[in-house]
Structure formats: structure tokens, C-alpha cells
Amino acid sequence: MPDSTSGISRRQFVRRCAGFGAAMAVSSALSACSIGFSYKPTTEPDNADLGLKEVAGQKSVLFGAATMQATLLADPSFAAAFANHVGLLAPENDLKWETVEPQPGIFNFAPGDWLADFAAQHDMLFRGHCLVWHQQIPSWAGANVSAAAAAAQLTSHITETASHFAGRMHSWDVVNEAINPEDGRSDGLRKTRWLQTIGPSYIELAFRTAAEADPHALLTYNDYGLELDSSDGDRRRAGTLKLLSGLLAAGVPVHALGIQAHLRADVRFNATKLTDFIQHVADLGLQIFITELDVADRALPADIQTRDSVVANVYQDFLQTVLAQPAVKAIITWGLSDRYTWLSQYAPRFDGQPVRPLPLDASMKAKPALWAVMDALNATEARASRRI
């Protein structure tokens, strides 16, 4: 059990143990380490009987979560919990290119329409994820064609998709994950097939096309790693600011930045750097959405109480930092319950224990993480107003 008298912060503890090598060693070392680590117990807030969307709504902040049509259809207990807590539905996969346009010109909006209807029936807003990405797109899209042909594919996909949902969409992730400093470009852009076929102008083309197809949706640039306390994080923040500043200077209709915030309990974020970064984004006149929030507990000990408490502290620390910026208008978790998280497939624990990254446990019960989200929302200033 963690010992709050040891004085060693939980981050120092995890980092010290993490230095012993692979996560396997870390999880066993964590239990073997004689030193404990401190974390602040998270208590149930007074308004814990409310759903997260009400608590957020009291401050004119949106609380949302990602899910899929298949999950809502298959699991009534999850659907009920989702309806209770969620004020904005983000399709985890159902609006990605591979689903929406599997063959050129052949569109499948059925899953997206079903989710839009579910959102409307449960008084939720609906957001689109995502129009242009380098993953989950069919092999024919943007590959082995001329720049003009790729631009035509991109324009057609965005026009058909965004106009189909026009009037029902709070916001779109128009371009997702276009920055990748490791690719070595001076502009920090990722060498996706869109960049290599069309050139950097694909981003402007995507936003202008989306604005024409849906003049009312908030058009968002979405990316990850923007909170990291590392040189990679520094380059990601710099590249994103450079991209957004350039687009806005050219009159491109961008309305928001999406910070994915796939956090890890064992990798710190830098509150000062993050605060400075989101201030610069706000100074550009953009709204900021936290779009894919979760906290991976892979490197934490097996003990559930310990894991849940450390994960809750990460939620609270991160949300208190970002919500201090009034331009932050939405908090969206990537999933709602541990029963359905991408991390089970992509970042399973080495000890085989089910991961616990989200506000509800696999039985739809509230965890300290949910209370931590509520605490951060209760503590933040009410927003003047929110464009819906």
C-alpha cells in the first residue's frame, strides 16, 4: 500500500522503479520496492449524484465521450451509463474514411446516422472524428494517384461527408495528427500519403472544403503528445502553433484545437509548458477541446486501489491545469467505461490484469477518476458562453 509518509512523490516512485527496465520489471519492482509513494485520496464530491454532463454544464463546459454504434447496440447497461454522463458523443471509429467511403464514391453513413440519432434522442451534441487522417483509410485513398486526383478524392470525401451531417454536427476533427517531428521536416509535418501526394496545402484544402460543406460546425485540428514534458513534446507544440498560425494568417477557417491527451500514469506532463501552449492557442482566437482523454495505467502496480488513485490524480492534475484556461470548452474522454477501451488492445498490462484508464469501471461504477473529473469541473470558472 502507498505510504503517504514516505514523502517520495508518486511520479518519482514510478520513475525510479521504471528505471529498472521493462514494464514487467516495473510492475514487480513496484511491489518489491520498499519505498511507498504518495497520492492524494480522491473523495466523492457533494454533487456526485449528478451526471458528468450536468456538472460540466454548470460551468458551460461540455463533457463528452467516444463510443461506437456496435457498443451502444450490444450493451444496454453501457448505453444507460453513457446517456447519464455524456453531453457530446464522439464516434470512436464509425465516421472514419474506411467506414464512410470504403470504395471511391460509395458512401456508408448508416453507423454515423445511427449515432447522430442516438445523440439527438439523448440530448447530446455530436462531433465528427475524423475527415482526414493517415490511418483507417482505404488503400485506394490518396495513393498512387496524381496530386490533382488525390485532391479530388479528398474534396469529394469531405464534401459528401460533412454536408451529409451538416446541421447535426457540433464540431469536426477535420485533420487528425498531421504533425510528426520524427519525420524530420522543417515544418514538422507528418509524411502522410496526403502530404506526399498533394503537398502541405492538403490541410488548407481540407478545412476550406469542410467549411463550405458545413458552415456551422466548429472545425478542429486534432493531435496528440501536446502535453508531454519532453523534446518531442516541445517540437509538437511548436509545430502545431506554426501550423495553426499559418492557417489563420491565410484566412483558413479553423475554429478549435483538439488536444487528444492520451495520458500515461508513468509519463509526466509539464503543467507550465502546457499552460503556456494553450495560452498561445487561445491568443490565436481558437477554442480548445480535450478530445481523447484517458490515463493508461500499464506501468502501475496491480493493486486496484493504488492504480485507481494514481490515475485519478493524473486526471485531476491535468484537468485543473487545462481548465484554468477559459478557452478550454470541452472535455471528451476516449471511452467512458473500462469495459470498452482501445488500450485493452493497444496497451495491455504486462501482468494481464484488465486496464483501468477511464472514469467508470467495467461494471459501470464510478471510480476515483470520475470524482477527479467532477472535482476539476466543480473547481473551474464558469465559461461566459458556449457556441453550440
Q: Binding residues for ligand G3I, per CB under 6 A?
A: 92-93, 135-136, 176, 260, 292, 342
Of the two residues 70 and 304, which places its CB atom closer to ligand G3I in the complex?
Answer: 70
Minimum Å gap between C-beta 342 and ligand G3I is 3
Categorise residue 118: left if φ over 0, alpha if ψ from -120 to 50, beta otherwise.
alpha
The one-letter amino acid at 320: Q
Q: Which residue of the chain is nearest ligand G3I when measured via CB?
A: 342
Minimum Å gap between C-beta 173 and ligand G3I is 8
Reply yes or no on whether 177 is catalytic: yes
Do 175 and 187 meet the contact criterion of CB atoms below 8 Å apart?
no
Question: Which runs of consecutive H residues, i.e. helices, occur in the chain?
Answer: 10-18, 23-32, 52-57, 69-74, 76-85, 97-100, 110-121, 147-164, 193-198, 201-213, 231-249, 271-283, 304-323, 343-346, 368-379
Q: CA 127, CA 132: separation in Å to the nearest integer?
A: 14
Minimum Å gap between C-beta 93 and ligand G3I is 4
Of the two residues 135 and 146, which places its CB atom closer to ligand G3I in the complex?
Answer: 135
Closest CA to 325 of 381, 384, 255, 285: 381
Do 1 and 36 meet the contact criterion of CB atoms below 8 Å apart?
yes
Do 357 and 297 meet the contact criterion of CB atoms below 8 Å apart?
yes
Closest CA to 303 of 6, 27, 9: 27
Minimum Å gap between C-beta 68 and ligand G3I is 7
Of the two residues 260 and 313, which places its CB atom closer to ligand G3I in the complex?
Answer: 260
Minimum Å gap between C-beta 42 and ligand G3I is 26
Point out the catalytic residue in the list 92, 101, 227, 292.
Answer: 292
Closest CA to 282 of 253, 257, 265, 263: 257
Minimum Å gap between C-beta 292 and ligand G3I is 5
Of the two residues 40 and 190, which places its CB atom closer to ligand G3I in the complex?
Answer: 190
Reply yes or no on whether 101 is catalytic: no
Point out the catalytic residue in the list 92, 177, 212, 227.
Answer: 177
Number of helical H runs and strand E runs in the chain: 15, 9
Helix (H, G, I), strand (E, B) or coil at 358: coil
Minimum Å gap between C-beta 97 and ligand G3I is 11
Q: What is the distance between the terminal CA atoms of the chain, rounded to a whole angstrom?
A: 45
Residue 183 has phi, psi (to 5 degrees) of -75, -10
Q: Enumerate the active-site residues.
A: 177, 292
